[in-house]
Structure 1
Amino acid sequence: MLELLVVISIMALATAGIALAMRDNGQTQLEREAARLAALLDAGRAQSRASGVPVRWRGGPQGFNFEGLAPNALPHQWLATGTLVRGNAVLLLGPEPVIGAQQVLLTHQDHPDQALRVVTDGLRPFRVESVQ
């Protein structure tokens, strides 16, 4: 009987360890949010160029907005609650084919020491970089 209890205890500990390892941590959420934002910024930039209308992106703690596009043309909320924008939260996305170098720093309120940069040099698409 004692051996059975030991085996069950070992199995319970292993299951708990696997469950904790599979949880979505803050860094993964932030990476997912930054990749999504890079794709949305490129989509906003493409729509600005196609329509010839200037588009500005403004970010904040409640979400973000693409000014110059139809209200429901692109999403306007963060997927992860607690996502924050550090510093300048305004980007000009077009309609010119070449825009200035721009960046946005994203962080999460639960992990303020972790940040990711969504950046473009004005020629290439937006990409995600680590902040050192």
Structure 2
Amino acid sequence: MRARQAGFTLIELLVVVALIAIASSVVSLAMRDPASTRLEHEAARLAALLESARAEARASGLAARWEPRAEQADTPGFRFIGLPESSDLPGRWLVEGVSAEVVGARAVVLGPEPLIGRQRIVLRLDAQRLTLATDGLGPFTVADSEAAP
């Protein structure tokens, strides 16, 4: 009779490693900051709105701007200036508490020129900060994100 060797097979070890990997990924997703996720959704939405307004300004030949409203304003949010009323773009944030600031200017110029110049918008929610930027030729994209000091 041969003595049976004690130990684990390679398949058993691979199954355990796979289960540990799945469990750690679920835990890391559960620990994600909800404010960061909400701010990323707002940034993606704002980038899409800005590109839509930019395309409309170029197509119609109108000088259009995007301007955030001050935090003390009666209606928080933002507004598109110079576009026709039929454009029906929203003017409110989806998440309460989001604020925006245009770096170095009062408003973002959207058109009608194809080149609009470098522009940056800083979005804030709680301790999170995210920057949308364009080089003037490409679309608005997320440039960086970090906790606000």
TM-score by length of 1: 0.75
Q: Which has the larger radius of gyration?
A: 2
Is the alpha carbon distance of 1:70 and 1:22 closer, same or farther for their aligned partners in structure 2, counting shifts above 3 Å?
Answer: farther
Please report how far the alpha carbon of residue 99 of structure 1 lies from its aligned counterpart in structure 2 after TM superposition: 0.7
- 8 Å CA contact 2:120–2:134 kept in 1: the answer is yes
Match of 2:20 in 1: none
Please report how far the alpha carbon of residue 59 of structure 1 lies from its aligned counterpart in structure 2 after TM superposition: 0.8
**2:42 aligned with 1:27:** no
| Aligned equivalent of 2:136, options 103, 122, 125 | 122
Aligned length: 110
- 8 Å CA contact 2:68–2:101 kept in 1: the answer is no
Q: Which runs of 5+ in 2 are unaligned?
A: 1-26
- Residue identity over aligned pairs, in percent, reads 47
Q: For CA contacts below 8 A with separation 6 or more, give which structure has more relative contact order.
A: 1
Match of 2:100 in 1: 85
- SS of the counterpart of 1:39? helix
- 8 Å CA contact 2:98–2:123 kept in 1: the answer is yes
Taking the TM superposition and a 5 Å limit, the aligned residue runs for 1:1-132 are 21=30, 25-60=34-69, 61=71, 62-71=76-85, 73=87, 74-88=89-103, 89-108=106-125, 111=126, 113-131=127-145
Is the alpha carbon distance of 1:125 and 1:23 closer, same or farther for their aligned partners in structure 2, counting shifts above 3 Å?
Answer: closer
How many angstroms apart in 2 are the aligned matches of 1:80 and 1:72?
25
Q: One-letter code of the match for 1:32?
A: H
Q: One-letter code of the match for 1:102?
A: Q
Give the structure with the higher percent strand.
1
Please report how far the alpha carbon of residue 86 of structure 1 lies from its aligned counterpart in structure 2 after TM superposition: 3.2
RMSD: 2.1
Q: Which runs of 5+ in 1 are unaligned?
A: 1-17
Which 10-residue stretch deviates more, 119-128 or 54-63? 54-63
